[in-house]
Amino acid sequence: MTEVSVNLKIDGSWNGDLYAKLERGAETAVLLNGVGRNGSAPGYDDDGVDVFLTDASPSQGDIHTYQNVTGPLPVGVPLTGAWQSDGRNVGIGVVANATPRTNRLDVFNNKSPNGNWTLTVSDNGALDNHTLVSWTLTIRGLRADGTPVTRVYAGGDLGAFYTNDVAGGVVAWQNATQGLKLPNVQVNDMEHVPATGFLNAATFGRGMWRVPIGTAVMAGAMCRPSRFQGGGARTTRLRVVLAAPAPMGGATVTLTSGDPARLTAPANVVVPAGQVTATVNLVSNVAPVAEVTIPVSLRYNNELRQTFVRLTP
């Protein structure tokens, strides 16, 4: 795994009483741990959370101290936007701003996603109650190449080889030297760079080779403007950029707004065949009470990317 993120929606009052953790095997990530608690400080008294937690993508900072960014929220308005997980792996009664953040979501990086994942949420106050409304776990990892089929390439004395039998007990290798248009010599090293869609090969006596494989992958996505006043059917322009020209029939990139009530996105945008970019409008029909950051997810060929839009009242 290269990135683990969580969408978390909890209704209730006095966020400073909330504790949440995500576990898989021996690894534990602390998502919430008494936000705002710092020594004798009782924590933030805001009403609920509806957040995207990530330690890899752009965010508004440490969720434990979110009021440093938002200030106290209006009564009845939950915390929204993209934030880093808390990560402070101590009891909620002793947590502080300076507590080391040793258990953030990135503890799962470079680990296998297989096994049971467990989310634990607790309300640690005597007077207020909270309800877990929904949560979503998103896992990202490197693929062997840009195709939907998992494939592994290897180099050796006899050239380049590949297999699609990654999960099988018996692996059958096929010669890929001619298919990749490499010279018929020893291949000392190979590396696939997922963000580019190219395979790099170091050959014996014939130099370095950069070979396109699979289909086009996304190189980036951005919104202009990235921050604007919400509501009134105001729009921002989302631009999708591929690392290579779209194949025959075009490249269909699916879109998902993290808050469709405030920011509406079409189901998809199509990059025409032979082109590398396409644009589409995102529409805001409802203004937020306080400034919010809304993630917009883009998916193409099992690759997931995100960009963010900030809406102001």
pLDDT in tens, 32-45: 999 999 988 889 99
The region that residue 287 occupies, defined by phi over 0 for left and psi between -120 and 50 for alpha, beta otherwise, is beta
- Mean pLDDT over the full length of the chain: 87
Mean pLDDT of 183-189: 88
The predicted pLDDT at position 165 comes to 63
What's the mean pLDDT in 112-133?
89
3-state secondary structure at position 57: coil
Look at residues 62, 66, 77, 24 and name the one whose alpha carbon lies nearest to residue 44.
66
What is residue 164's predicted lDDT score, i.e. its pLDDT?
A: 66
Residue 129 is predicted with a pLDDT of 87
Question: Residue 145 — very low, low, confident or very high, per pLDDT cuts 50/70/90?
Answer: very low
Helices and strands (H, E) in the chain, number of each type: 1, 23
Phi and psi, residue 67, nearest 5°: -70, -15
CA separation for the pair 165, 243 (Å, rounded): 27
More confident residue, 215 or 307: 307
Rounded Cα distance, 184 and 274, in Å: 31
Q: Rounded to an integer, what is the distance from CA 16 to the centroid of its chain?
A: 26
Percent of the residues in the chain that have a pLDDT greater than 90, as a whole number: 57
Q: Is 212 exposed, middle or buried (0-12, 13-18, 19+ CB in 10 A)?
A: middle
Q: pLDDT-derived band of residue 146, with 50, 70 and 90 as boundaries?
A: very low
pLDDT in the model for residue 195? 58
Q: What is the pLDDT of residues 192-232, one digit of tens each?
A: 766 566 788 899 999 999 887 655 577 788 999 999 999 99
Query: Is the pLDDT confidence value at 143 over 50?
Result: no
Q: Which sequence spans correspond to the domains of the chain?
A: 3-140, 152-212, 218-312
Q: What is the CATH number of domain 218-312?
A: 2.60.40.10
Task: Judge whether 176 and 161 are in contact, CB under 8 Å.
Answer: yes
More confident residue, 59 or 237: 237
Mean pLDDT calculated for residue range 9-25: 95
Q: What count of residues does the chain have?
A: 313
Task: Give yes or no for a contact between 21 and 29, defined as CB atoms under 8 angstroms apart.
Answer: yes
- The arithmetic mean of pLDDT across residues 121-126, rounded, is 92
Q: How confident is residue 147, by pLDDT bands cut at 50, 70 and 90?
A: very low
Give the Å distances, CA to CA, from 151 to 184, 200, 214, 311. Answer: 21, 15, 10, 41
Burial of 297 (0-12, 13-18, 19+ CB in 10 A): middle
Residue 112: pLDDT band with limits 50, 70, 90: confident
pLDDT of residue 294: 94
Q: Which residues contact 262 (CB under 8 A, 6 or more apart)?
A: 230, 284, 285, 286, 287, 288, 292, 294, 311
Q: What is the per-residue pLDDT for 200?
A: 87
